């Protein structure tokens, strides 16, 4: 009898251990903090330009923590989930006031043979397929390296709510992606909906990616914006900050925002060089206003000087059609960064960005504003320098 009980207990523990081995939940995160100097920011009290020293959370990558998990369902099929929160290290608050998992929150199924299908709040295909080829979408540049206003969302300033997303497995070097974000509004199917597509191809040292994103809105006034739709808040600077304090990208204030782009990286020895092009078209800004478009041309280079020292630099030229008159503005931006890794999880870095803008006197875009800086410059030039510490867990 005792032998039978012992055998039964052993079997139960063995089965429990096997079941546990087929499921996993992991806590992960990234903490990024730095001291940033800016030569000119408009003062909220005097309105004039002043230099500023700031403690910044996420100068390169947004600080975050999350939970991800998977359960093996057999036959190469898994149930997966990811819950990710972005936070401000300076004060411990969420970067979005009304969301716990403001960066990502999804559940789905993943198959080695058929790909991955997920449901929830997720990143679009410009972020997934083009962002990694631009220094702004990587650990080698990040927030301050973003194209003006992060108008193409390569730095993941906003995510898509109510999204159904598919990503294919790799097929002879190719990978495909698609996403649709529902408006979730009765009688307003297209009022704040989103959809995107992406494709990538890897062949030896060559890495190519392309993406497309479209946001639609039927709102005629800011009061009619669908607050439960596909895009409702941001975690970084967007062009809307020039015109309104509403925490939504211009796609929700336009009848349509259409962004597409492509990039290519090539690795040779310890170096990786790349070029990226994106274009964002805004149709009927504020629903009844003018249409405009932004084009970004980026060249970038990163070089592993030693296993512990990484250097990176980028030049971006941006041009736009006039939004409210005053000529067609254009930007030049030069960015550079040096990082030293103490380990695979902890590094320090020094980075700097210069931005210059040229626009007519009647344009609201006539002052420089580096992405992630608290306020725009009082002039057509702005410089920032940051020394920071980053830790991953």
Please say whether the beta carbons of 247 and 235 come within 8 A. Answer: no
CA gap 161, 120 in Å, rounded: 6
The CATH class given to the 24-392 domain equals: mainly beta
Does this model's pTM top 0.85? My answer is yes
pLDDT in tens, 135-183: 998 999 999 999 999 999 999 999 999 999 999 999 999 999 999 999 9
- Higher confidence at residue 335 or residue 226? 335
Look at residue 4 and tell me whether its pLDDT is greater than 50. Answer: no
Look at residue 18 and tell me whether its pLDDT is greater than 50. Answer: no
* Percentages (nearest 5) of helix, strand, coil residues in the chain: 10, 50, 35
Q: pLDDT class for 46, splitting at 50, 70, 90?
A: confident
Is 40 in a helix, a strand, or coil?
strand
Output the pLDDT for position 57.
96
Q: pLDDT class for 251, splitting at 50, 70, 90?
A: low
Domain boundaries, the chain: 24-392
Phi/psi for 117 (5° steps) reads -125, 125
Q: In the Cβ-directed half-sphere of 123, how many Cα atoms lie within 13 Å?
A: 23
pLDDT in tens, 105-136: 999 999 999 999 999 999 999 999 999 999 99
Q: pLDDT class for 224, splitting at 50, 70, 90?
A: confident
Question: What are 254's two structure tokens?
Answer: 């336009």
Output the pLDDT for position 244.
43
Mean pLDDT of the chain, nearest integer? 88
Look at residue 234 and tell me whether its pLDDT is greater than 80. Answer: no
Look at residue 219 and tell me whether its pLDDT is greater than 80. Answer: no
CA gap 1, 3 in Å, rounded: 5
Q: Which segment of 12-26, 156-170, 249-263 scores lowest on mean pLDDT? A: 12-26
302-331 average pLDDT score: 89
- Higher confidence at residue 105 or residue 251? 105
CA gap 318, 315 in Å, rounded: 10
Output the pLDDT for position 25.
97
Residue at token pair 């992630």: 372
Q: pLDDT class for 326, splitting at 50, 70, 90?
A: low
370-391 average pLDDT score: 96
């Amino acid at each position: 009898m005792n032998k039978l009980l012992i055998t039964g207990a052993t079997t139960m523990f063995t089965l429990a251990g096997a079941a546990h081995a087929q499921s996993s939940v992991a806590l992960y995160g990234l903490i990024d903090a730095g001291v940033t100097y800016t030569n000119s920011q408009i003062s909220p009290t005097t309105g004039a330009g002043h230099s500023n020293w700031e403690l910044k959370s996420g100068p390169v990558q947004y600080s975050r923590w999350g939970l991800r998990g998977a359960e093996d369902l057999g036959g190469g099929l898994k149930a997966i989930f990811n819950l990710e929160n972005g936070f401000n290290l300076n004060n411990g608050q969420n970067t979005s006031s009304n969301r716990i998992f403001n960066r990502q929150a999804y559940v789905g199924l993943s198959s080695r043979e058929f790909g991955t299908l997920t449901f929830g709040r997720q990143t679009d295909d410009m972020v997934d397929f083009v962002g990694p080829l631009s220094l702004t979408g990587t650990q080698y540049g990040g927030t301050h390296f973003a194209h003006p206003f992060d108008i193409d969302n390569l730095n993941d300033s906003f995510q898509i709510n109510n999204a159904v997303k598919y990503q294919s497995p790799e097929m002879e070097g190719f990978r495909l992606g698609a996403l649709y974000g529902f408006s979730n509004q009765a009688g307003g199917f297209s009022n704040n909906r989103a959809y995107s597509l992406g494709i990538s191809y890897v062949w030896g040292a060559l890495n190519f990616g392309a993406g497309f994103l479209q946001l639609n809105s039927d709102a005629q006034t800011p009061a009619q914006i669908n607050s439960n739709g596909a895009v409702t808040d941001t975690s970084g600077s967007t062009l809307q900050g020039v015109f309104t304090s509403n925490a939504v990208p211009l796609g929700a204030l336009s009848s349509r925002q259409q962004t597409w782009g492509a990039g290519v990286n090539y690795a040779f020895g310890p170096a990786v060089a790349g070029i990226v092009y994106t274009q964002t078209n805004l149709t009927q800004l504020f629903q009844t206003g003018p249409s405009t478009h932004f084009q970004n041309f980026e060249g970038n280079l990163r070089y592993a000087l030693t296993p512990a020292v990484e250097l990176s630099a980028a030049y971006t030229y941006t041009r736009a059609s006039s939004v409210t008159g005053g000529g067609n503005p254009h930007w030049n931006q030069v960015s550079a960064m040096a990082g030293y890794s103490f380990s695979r999880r902890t590094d320090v870095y020094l980075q700097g960005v210069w931005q210059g803008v040229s626009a007519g006197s009647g344009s609201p875009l006539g002052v420089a504003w580096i992405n992630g800086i608290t306020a725009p410059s009082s002039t057509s030039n702005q410089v920032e320098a940051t020394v920071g510490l980053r830790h991953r867990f």
